[in-house]
Amino acid sequence: MTASPLEALTEIDSICTDDLLRAKMRALLMAYHVRWSSQAFTVLDIEKFSKSDLYNPETSTKSRTFQMAGKEDILIEEAGKLWQMDHKTCSEDIADPASPYWKQLVIEGQHLHYALLEHLNGQRLDGAIWDVMRKPSISPRQISKADQKTVVASKSYCGGEATEADIVQMQETGRESFHLYECRLFEDATKERPEWYFQRQRVARLDNELLEYSSELWGHTQDLLICRRENRWPRNSGACMNYGRPCKFLGICSGHDTADSDKWHKKDWVHLELPSVDGDKTQGRGFLTNSRIRCFQTCRRKHYLDYELGIDRVEEDEAESLQFGTIWHEVLAVYFKQWKENYVNASTHVPASAVGIDSAR
């Protein structure tokens, strides 16, 4: 049983204020639906929040300081096996299964973090599924005079309907409207290059890898405790420009700003991606998430400012790449919620073959 994309499309229209981003998201969601809606699995949980005590794997001693925590994108059952599915967006090659992007995910600790968390809560995952979408490389373009005449005559464009408003704008500007661009992107992601845009790979859960990750995680807690005890949080200059943009704390680390200036505020809960936990008096400082561990591995000073001091910018424009990924996660949460509900109520099912780029508008 699969999802209908209609509610997720409504979600896109409500949260995307930028017309171009909205067109991209709409086309990609519809193409995602066409690509994957025939998959046979049951959605068990969406954005599941879990926490657990943390143990030293060598002595079985429970940590007196830290607990594990995390929020899984989707938990599914397929052919009697339990999988954790994680959604990702990227700009790298994903069509080649041997590309550097996939090689890096092999050693990514995120799926092991969730698998260990589930294991400590008494549930065994069989593995993880990386559900990856590559961001579009095409943008709205010029339309030649000859092609404009074809659009006017056929009232269609790249398999979708060209409305009167689309035609007027095209004739005035010589360019695609956002809706015409949406039609072309949908065609590209469904008929021309679906493998370029959408890929999934599975990673089986191995007991020896889980034990190794458990040991690594415990080691990180000991390093973190040393940093706390000595109040020593060294900077890593190699991480200041990760992801092609300055770290938000670069001004503080370089001495051009201070943590107590009016540009910063204290967070009520240091894990912005997690719900707060009733009764926790540390604002989440005792919880270890995969994001927090990666931050600690990347730069001790950044970890201190983000998770120990717990500050954030009063106002910060989110990078387009981060905004894209955040919205995609929100949209897929709505999409798979419908998938889960359709398993209970089959009468709401809309097959992929019955949904086109225009019928969903």
What per-residue confidence (pLDDT) applies to 279? 87
Sequence spans of domains, the chain: 6-135+193-208+318-346, 145-190, 230-313
3-state secondary structure the chain: CCCCCHHHHHHHHHHCCCHHHHHHHHHHHHHHHHHHCCCCCEEEEEEEEEEEEEECCCCCCEEEEEEEEEEEEEEEEECCEEEEEEEEEECCCCCCCCCHHHHHHHCCCHHHHHHHHHHHCCCCCCEEEEEEEECCCCCCCECCHHHHHHHHHHCEECCEECCHHHHHHHHHHCECCHHHHHHHHHHHHHHHCHHHHEEEEEEECCHHHHHHHHHHHHHHHHHHHHHHHHCCCCCCHHHCCHHHCCCCCHHHHCCCCCCCCCCEEECCCCCCCCCCCCCCCCCCCCEECHHHHHHHHHCHHHHHHHHHCCEEECCCCCCHHHHHHHHHHHHHHHHHHHHHHHHHCHHHCCCHHHCCCCCCC
pLDDT by residue for the chain (361 residues), tens only, comes to: 456 789 999 999 999 989 999 999 999 999 999 999 998 899 999 999 999 999 999 999 999 999 999 999 999 999 999 999 999 999 999 999 999 999 998 888 899 999 999 999 999 999 999 999 999 999 999 999 999 999 999 999 999 999 999 999 999 999 999 999 999 999 999 999 999 999 999 998 889 999 999 999 999 999 999 999 999 999 999 999 987 789 999 999 999 999 999 999 999 999 999 999 988 889 999 999 999 999 999 999 999 999 999 999 997 655 555 689 999 999 999 999 998 887 655 433 333 333 344 433 4
* CATH code of the domain made up of 6-135+193-208+318-346: 3.90.320
